[in-house]
Amino acid sequence: MLENKEAVFENGRVIAFRIITGDEIIGEITSFDGQSVSLKKPCTLTFTQEGMGLMPASVIGNPEHDVKYQRAAIVAIMTPRADAISSYEAYASNLIVPKKEGIVTSAK
């Protein structure tokens, strides 16, 4: 099934793609044109003792600045799984999400 190019590269959408190096990248689209797509705080997969996780796509780049990927370097575009989107959003938002469900109250 073909997707509308405008729908795939929609500002504010979390998207995943594979680049020519084989890395899978996930991030929120901040801008796009015919030549490139820019992502907010892009991440790539990493493997830990607990399983798979996300890490910044660039170790030396400033994480507060968007990263521009050339469209020619993108070989596959994917809709990320819901758990991958949740993990990315938790990383990119700088919010600490409590693991315990329910209402948080003060301990008076």
pLDDT given at position 32: 92
pLDDT tens string 13-70: 999 999 999 999 999 999 998 899 999 999 998 887 887 788 999 889 888 899 999 9
What domains does the chain contain, in order, with CATH numbers?
5-93 (2.30.30.100)
Q: What is the pLDDT of residue 15?
A: 94
Strands (E), the chain: 14-19, 24-32, 36-48, 51-56, 67-70, 74-78
- Burial group, residue 43, by CB count within 10 angstroms (0-12, 13-18, 19+): buried
Query: Would you say residue 83 has pLDDT above 90?
Result: no
The pair of three-digit structure tokens given for residue 64, joined into one six-digit string: 């507060």
